[in-house]
Amino acid sequence: MVARAHIGKLIIGGTYPVRIKGMLKGSLTDRSSLLAEARALVTEGAEAIRIAVKRPGEAAIAQYLKKYIEVPLVADIHFNYKLALEAVENGFDAIRLNPLNLTKQAEIKEVVDAAKRADISVRVGINSGGFKKDFSSEQALAAAMVSSALAFLKILERRDFSNITVSLKASTIRATTLANRLFAKKSDYPLHLGITATGPYQEAVVKSSIGIGGLLSQGLGSVIRVSLTAPSYLEIRIAKYILQALDLRSFGPQIISCPTCSRCQVDLIKIVNDFQKEALTLHRGGHTLPGKIALMGCEVNGPGEARQADIGVAFGKKRGVVFKKDKIVGFISEKSCVTELLKRCVKMPYGTAKSRNSAKTQK
Ligand code: SF4
């Protein structure tokens, strides 16, 4: 069983659901923009927010943001242990320390003792880019990442400190996977998963989904952070899609739709986009919708997929057949299908499909 850590009130590890962490990208000097960004992350579903603290005095941002948002804050610290001490003093709920650039034992001990007194968490975060040498293979890199993390953890453990999460991130999926799997064999600290420096948006989404999703599907990982060269709220959205795709958590209705082909006689791409937008608006407004909703382009796979969802529609020419499980319950026209299907959805109890299970395991 994975150990537990806590970042403020957010419990990580144990049997708790996999958490989603975000990161602010804006300048700390433009406080109102930063607050708007933080609020967007919270609205999207971030459960903890990391902030890079680079200079003396910057940690005071925690005091400002905490006046407006309740999500716990994590200070990302490199090189300078005094910044970590400032983060603790200013009310951050966790600090991320990098064993590859915070190496003096006396400094580490001072930070850990301060974190312990304040009852805040430490993430021991290794990034492969922090090594100053090349490795002969990805296995060798992964082994070096793990041994650096374990050596750092020993210092924390000798101070009787255990409110810890660990991350081992590389820019390749293979090295990240090897490092996390190796670490999990040696230690039960909760793992924070991520693939770092993933590249442009679409490639980054693919890399993150395979890397993070692969580890999650092997039962590893207690908190995830998706890194994209894109606005920060998109990182949270993709994190939610990854968790939902693996049926680990549910954040609203899952839409099952086909890729369309020449058999499709409606504009399914538009229908699905419009439906998703409206469904999310209803979900955010407090309406409960079915867990799985299928929108299929024709009668070939449509009825089958629609039946496996809580509710579904298989389109034909200008209209669609609506299924609830294996029963046909009506017909809807192409023109008003989004509104008509949503009307039927909001009247249903929240999902009977298995994706709903994880919705209850939060908090
Ligand atoms: S469900 Fe029908 S329209 Fe959609 S991809 Fe399959 S065959 Fe084509």
Among protein residues, the one whose CA lies closest to atom 7 of ligand 1? 300
Three-class secondary structure of residue 327 per DSSP: strand
Nearest atom in ligand 1 to the alpha carbon of residue 296 is 1
Cα distance between residue 161 and residue 48, in whole Å: 21
Three-class secondary structure of residue 304 per DSSP: helix
Q: Which of 256, 257, 258 to mutate to test the pocket of ligand 1 (most atoms within 8 A of CB)?
A: 258
Strands 121-127 and 94-97: parallel
CATH number at 254-359: 3.30.413.10
Q: Which of 265, 271, 295, 300 to mutate to test the pocket of ligand 1 (most atoms within 8 A of CB)?
A: 300
Cα distance between residue 53 and residue 63, in whole Å: 13
**Is there a contact between 316 and 296 (Cβ–Cβ < 8 Å)?**
no
Q: What is the pLDDT of residue 4?
A: 97
List the domain boundaries for the chain.
4-245, 254-359
Burial 60-81 (b: 16+ CB within 10 A, else e): bbbeebbeeeebbbbbbbbebb
Among protein residues, the one whose CA lies closest to atom 5 of ligand 1? 260
In the reported structure, the alpha carbon of residue 130 is separated from the centroid of ligand 1 by a whole-number distance in angstroms of: 48
In the reported structure, the alpha carbon of residue 267 is separated from the centroid of ligand 1 by a whole-number distance in angstroms of: 12
Enumerate residues lining ligand 1, CB below 6 A.
258-261, 263-264, 296-298, 300-302
In the reported structure, the alpha carbon of residue 300 is separated from the centroid of ligand 1 by a whole-number distance in angstroms of: 6
Per-residue confidence in pLDDT tens, the chain, 363 aa: 899 999 999 999 999 999 999 999 999 999 999 999 999 999 999 999 999 999 999 999 999 999 999 999 999 999 999 999 999 999 999 999 999 999 999 999 999 999 999 999 999 999 998 998 889 999 999 999 999 999 999 999 999 999 999 999 988 999 999 999 999 999 999 999 999 878 889 999 999 999 999 999 999 999 999 999 999 999 999 999 999 999 999 888 889 999 999 999 999 999 999 999 999 888 888 888 998 999 999 988 777 776 778 999 999 999 999 998 778 899 999 999 999 999 999 876 544 433 333 333 344
**Is there a contact between 95 and 86 (Cβ–Cβ < 8 Å)?**
no
Q: What is the pLDDT of residue 351?
A: 42
Q: What is the pLDDT of residue 299?
A: 81
Q: What is the pLDDT of residue 349?
A: 52
Give me the phi and psi of 257, to 5 degrees please.
-140, 155
Full-model pTM = 0.88
- Catalogue the long-range contacts made by 305-308 (C-beta closer than 8 Å, 24 or more residues apart): 305/256, 305/258, 308/256, 308/353
Tokens 């299928």 correspond to what residue?
294
Nearest atom in ligand 1 to the alpha carbon of residue 314 is 1
In the reported structure, the alpha carbon of residue 132 is separated from the centroid of ligand 1 by a whole-number distance in angstroms of: 52
Among protein residues, the one whose CA lies closest to atom 6 of ligand 1? 301
Cα–Cα–Cα angle for 302, 308, 311, nearest 5°?
A: 80
Q: At the top level of CATH, which class does the domain 4-245 belong to?
A: alpha beta
Nearest atom in ligand 1 to the alpha carbon of residue 302 is 1
Q: Is the dihedral of CA 206, 124, 96, 81 positive or negative?
A: negative
In the reported structure, the alpha carbon of residue 326 is separated from the centroid of ligand 1 by a whole-number distance in angstroms of: 19
